[in-house]
Amino acid sequence: MSDIKNNRQTAAQLLIRSLVQQNVKQIFGPSGSMQNRAHRLPGVSIARHRSQEPPHTINHMDWATSMLARGKMPITRELEPKSMEEIRTASAENETCSLGSYLASRLEEIGIKHHFAVAGDYNLVLLDQLLLNKNTQQVYCCNELNCSFSAEGYARANGVAACVVTFSVGSLTAFDGLAGAYAEELPVILISGAPNSNDFGANHLVHHALGTLDLRYPLDFAKRITCEAVAITHPEEAPHLIDKAIRAALREKKPVYIEIPCNLASAQCSKPKPIDWFETPKSDPASLYAAVRAVAQFLENAVRPVLLAGPKLRSHGGIDAFRLLAEAVGCGVAVMPSAKSFFPEQHRQYIGIYLGAAGSAGAADVVDSSDAVLAAGPLFTDYTTTGWTALPSENRLIQVDPDRVRVGSTTFNDVYLAEFLRELTKVVKPKPKTLAEFERTKVLVASPSVADAGVPLTREEMCRQIQGLIDSNTTLIVETGDSWFNGLNMNLTDGAKFEIEMQWGHIGWSVPATFGYAVKARDRRIVLMVGDGSFQLTAQEVCQMIRLNLPVLIFLVNNRGYTIEVEIHDGPYNNVKNWDYAGLMKVFNAEDGLGVGLRATTGGELAAAIEKAMAHSGGPVMIECSIERDDCTRQLLEWGSRVAIANARPQQRA
């Protein structure tokens, strides 16, 4: 026995070995490790015996012991009571667990208390294994696109998220949301079930695949839209590959993909070892020093510097450091649209959203006339620069990226954003001129007047009433469409949060993302603004808000079409088939839901609906707001016309 202990074999292997020694050719039992191991021994075949089959979650040691005790298995000399004691010891020493429970432990360790899932035969055993971990909860979605967007929304509230789908038919659908997480810098772990490990490389075909022998295309696709994509092929390598992928997601703030064959989810692997997941990256000291000196000098030479907050500040942990730097410089501070709420709007240095003619009144004047723009974590694209009209020129730009700093045309590599901002704060001198300029020239935007209760609802009246709901505990989530600009125009009190998906810009993102966000942030008031066209893509996920009694407040803006597209380039393709949106809530409630659907066609109806919504608890409320097709923001017109020009640039000749 000591020999066996030294070899660190499991109890199951001991049993199999003794059976083989006795020439037992068939083993009846659960489909887990014992059969898998028996398979590898010469002369042993496996048969399942339904009546004897324990639940697959059973501990194999318990199962084997109970079978022995009930006399279903021959007891050999090796397995007499004294030997059983030793088997227990050997098993404990082996420190193994199922691959699925290994994964569940890792998710729990990194703070993922909920994972989103859609079931399929290739992931069922994995889902069972994950369910065994009572510290994490499984949350179901209607389809895999919604599943990955839900995880994306959860990652916005939690910092990291996970979702589980089935092979190919599931994962290919989830990839859209996963790519969105890449674009939006959110670490989402997509776990996909896969065919039996023996099917890879075998000369036969399996379902949910292309009908060819190629089973690697989901992994290949995943590699293009993640920072790490791994496919587990043996339980022994699972700990290494799972840890490698999770580490990459946390380090890069990008999604990862983990593929697990259906027969390996319950196979044994070594138990998780303690890991320090959240090591902060350290800049190269010489490069950091040089970058801080160069930027401090650049700011010193400037007369009118401004600071610009970018969307990458959050994922790279720079929000607090940015604020401290801003206060040390004392200049005007603007934010990019996706960074709204990353700098407090009540702060005396806040000058608004920088988005060219589509931004806050006065913000572009200050930024565009500044001689040094320090942009922290920006993402300058055609959209965020309003068709390249709001892009600080290179000679006045200091661009602080997640892992490098660019000053004019010089780049300092291996310099990490938060660390750089902290070091720079120590040496900068006050330069408050742009703030004083902004205060002198700022145009006060008049608050909209209250509309008569009985006149048809307008966009302005709708926004005026929604503005009244925003307090320090509100998260406002806005969908692609004019909802972007309606949301960007809202004033946020300190503590209020704002979520927008401007980089990936996938219509339909907001419904599942709001669901995912609400699963994590149950204590916040979550307000969603979504257009009719966008809603039609992912509407069914509202039923999951009902299922989990999430008190989300949805403003469904029914303007009978793709108004944002109307303003960029109109045609018949921008008309949307009307739905009874408010009526959908009844459909989703079915026999047990507590969702409420309300309609508002006038300001008075909207006020009454909001009052009802505030009094309701136990489920979401959707208020369908009917407005005119062309009733859009000034900002959408400004932005749309410039983006249209950028889109229409003629092909350049070489």
Ligand X SMILES: Cc1ncc(C[n+]2csc(CCOP(=O)(O)OP(=O)(O)O)c2C)c(N)n1
Token digits of residue 219? 């992994």
Smallest distance, ligand X to C-beta of residue 482, A: 4
138-153: burial string, b at 16+ Cβ within 10 Å, e else: bbebbbbbbbbbbbbb
Q: Which does 483 bind (CB under 5 to 8 A by kind): Mg ion, ligand X, none?
A: ligand X
Q: Of ligand X, Mg ion, none, which one does residue 432 interact with (CB within 5 to 8 Å by kind)?
A: none
3-state secondary structure of 560: coil
Give CA–CA dist 255/370, Å, rounded: 36
Kindly give the pairing relationship between strand 404-407 and strand 410-413.
antiparallel
505's contact among Mg ion, ligand X, none, with CB below 5 to 8 A by partner kind, is ligand X
Q: Could you tell me the smallest distance in angstroms from the CB atom of residue 571 to Mg ion?
A: 15
The single residue among 153, 487, 533, 595 that binds Mg ion, judged by CB under 5 A, is: 533
User: At 629, is the secondary structure helix, strand, or coil?
Assistant: coil
Nearest residue (CB) to ligand X, 516 versus 561: 561
Q: Which residues contact 129 (CB under 8 A, 6 or more apart)?
A: 57, 98, 99, 100, 101, 103, 104, 265, 266
Tokens of 607: 């006020």
d(Cα 625, Cα 462) in Å, to the nearest integer?
Answer: 8
Cα–Cα distance between 333 and 308 in angstroms, integer? 6
Strand positions, DSSP E, 396-489: 397-401, 404-407, 410-413, 474-478
H helix or E strand, kind and range, residue 372 = strand 372-376
Residues in region 121-140 near ligand X by CB under 6 A:
none
Query: Which of ligand X, Mg ion, none lies near 480, with the C-beta cut-off 5 to 8 A by kind?
Result: ligand X
Nearest residue (CB) to ligand X, 241 versus 507: 507
Query: What are the two backbone dihedrals, phi and then psi, of residue 62, each rounded to the nearest 5 degrees?
Result: -65, -40
Nearer to Mg ion, 177 or 533 (CB): 533
Q: Is 350 helix (H, G, I), strand (E, B) or coil?
A: strand
CB of 486 to ligand X, least distance (A): 8
How many Å is the maximal CA-CA distance in the chain?
94
Which of residues 370, 480, 510, 635 is near ligand X by CB under 6 A?
480
Residue spans of alpha helices (H) in 132-237: 144-158, 171-183, 217-225
Type of residue at 52: Q
- The vertex-422 CA angle with 418 and 425, nearest 5°, equals 140
Query: Tokens 């610009």 correspond to what residue?
Result: 308
Nearest distance from C-beta of residue 147 to ligand X, angstroms: 16
Residues in 553-612 at the binding interface with Mg ion, rule: CB under 5 A: 559, 563
Beta-bridged to residue 138, according to DSSP, are: 115
Q: How crowded is residue 447: how many other Cβ atoms within 10 Å of its Cβ?
A: 9
98 binds ligand X (CB under 6 A): no
Instruction: Tell the smallest beta-carbon distance from residue 643 to ligand X (Å).
Output: 11
**Binding test (CB under 5 A) with Mg ion, winner from 100, 337, 531, 593:** 531
Of 185, 437, 482, 541, the one binding ligand X by CB under 6 A: 482
**How far is residue 385's CA from residue 359's CA, in Å, rounded to a whole number?**
10
483 binds ligand X (CB under 6 A): yes
Check binding of 345 to ligand X (CB under 6 A).
no
Q: Which is nearer to ligand X, 21 or 647 (CB)?
A: 647
Q: Does 144 bind ligand X (CB under 6 A)?
A: no
What is the total count of residues that contact ligand X (CB under 6 A)? Answer: 19
- Tell me which of ligand X, Mg ion, none is bound by residue 406, counting a contact when its beta carbon lies within the kind-specific cut-off of 5 to 8 angstroms: none
Nearer to ligand X, 311 or 533 (CB): 533
State the binding partner of 474 from ligand X, Mg ion, none, CB within 5 to 8 A by kind: none
507 binds, among ligand X, Mg ion, none (CB under 5 to 8 A by kind): ligand X
Lookup: tokens for 101: 């429970």
How far apart CA 324 and CA 330 sit, in angstroms, is 10
Residues 504-523 that bind Mg ion (CB under 5 A): none
- Among residues 162 and 556, whose Cβ is nearest to ligand X? 556
Beta carbons of 486 and 534 less than 8 angstroms apart? no
Least distance from Mg ion to the Cβ atom of residue 254, Å: 32
Size of the site for Mg ion (CB under 5 A): 5
Where are any strands of DSSP class E within 271-357? 305-309, 333-335, 350-353
Token digits for 147?
């599943």
Member of 30, 318, 481, 593 binding ligand X (CB under 6 A): 481
Beta carbon nearer to Mg ion, 226 or 563: 563
Closest to ligand X by CB, 111 vs 583, is: 583
Are 58 and 47 contacting, i.e. CB atoms less than 8 angstroms apart?
no
Is 310 one of the binding residues for Mg ion (CB under 5 A)?
no
Site for ligand X in 408-467 (CB under 6 A): none
Which residue, 512 or 533, has its beta carbon nearer to ligand X?
533
Residues in the chain, overall count: 654
Question: Across the strands, what pairs with 575?
Answer: 561
Q: Which is nearer to ligand X, 164 or 537 (CB)?
A: 537
Q: Determine, following the binding rule CB under 6 A, whether residue 254 of this chain makes contact with ligand X.
A: no
Instruction: Identify residues 499-518 at the interface with ligand X (CB under 6 A).
Output: 505-507
Position 174 contacts ligand X (CB under 6 A): no
Interface residues for ligand X in 531-590 (CB under 6 A)?
A: 531-534, 557, 559, 561-565
Rg (CA), the chain: 29
Helix, strand, coil in percent for the chain, rounding step 5: 45, 15, 40
Binding partner of 482, given ligand X, Mg ion, none, CB within 5-8 angstroms per partner class: ligand X
User: C-beta of 526: minimal distance to Mg ion in Å?
Assistant: 21
With respect to ligand X, which residue has the nearer C-beta, 86 or 565? 565
Smallest gap, in angstroms, from Cβ of residue 633 to ligand X? 9
Query: Of the ranges 187-195, 225-233, 327-335, 480-488, which one interacts with ligand X (CB under 6 A)?
Result: 480-488
CA distance to 121, 204, 215, 231, per residue, from 211 (Å): 17, 9, 9, 20
Point out which residues bind ligand X (CB under 6 A).
479-483, 505-507, 531-534, 557, 559, 561-565
Point out which residues bind Mg ion (CB under 5 A).
531-533, 559, 563
